[in-house]
Amino acid sequence: LPARKLLTLVIIHHEEKVLLGMKKRGFGKGYYNGFGGKVEKGETIEEAAARELEEESGVTATDMEKRGILTFHFDNDPVLWEVHVFYVTKFLGDPYETEEMAPSWFSVADIPYDTMWADDPLWYPLLLTGQRFKGDFFFTNTTTLTSHSIGVVESV
């Protein structure tokens, strides 16, 4: 089996708005993204998702629900990226800017897909309408999406 890197991604959906962060450094710099990062040794995927959300936005989720698994295949990296997507509607604290992310709220109709990963418009609509999903996305040159498959599933 190919090696996989486990990552988390948390999307907060509150009062008809979605919280996204402009990534200021590292992978995906210059894109709006949910909050997340690598799962570390000794923590569960859920623990990593909660920790990364707090580190990158300052808020604590109180109703995190796993809703999707996205697998990314890069032509320039033999390691698959398995991103576990979590949906949050309740949280404590106010988002603030961190070294990694500058947060903003967007109406669902104004999600800035032009400044996001190319796969995002393919699955955010599923996430925001209560569905569970699994997808595979194939990228060349890190950012060009060349093919994909995505399906709604019963459980993730």
DSSP 18: E
The number of beta carbons lying within 10 Å of the beta carbon of residue 77 is 13
Q: How far is the CB of 91 from ligand 6U4 (least distance, A)?
A: 17
Give the C-alpha separation, 114 to 38, whole Å: 25
Instruction: Please give the residue ranges that form the binding site for ligand 6U4 (CB under 6 A).
Output: 7-9, 26-28, 33-34, 36-38, 52, 72, 83, 117, 119-120
38 binds, among Na ion, ligand 6U4, none (CB under 5 to 8 A by kind): ligand 6U4
Of the ranges 35-43, 67-75, 119-127, 138-146, which one interacts with Na ion (CB under 5 A)?
35-43
Kindly tell me the burial class for residue 46, based on how many C-beta atoms sit within 10 Å of its own C-beta (0-12, 13-18, 19 or more). Answer: middle
- What token pair was written down for 143? 């950012």
33 binds, among ligand 6U4, Na ion, none (CB under 5 to 8 A by kind): ligand 6U4
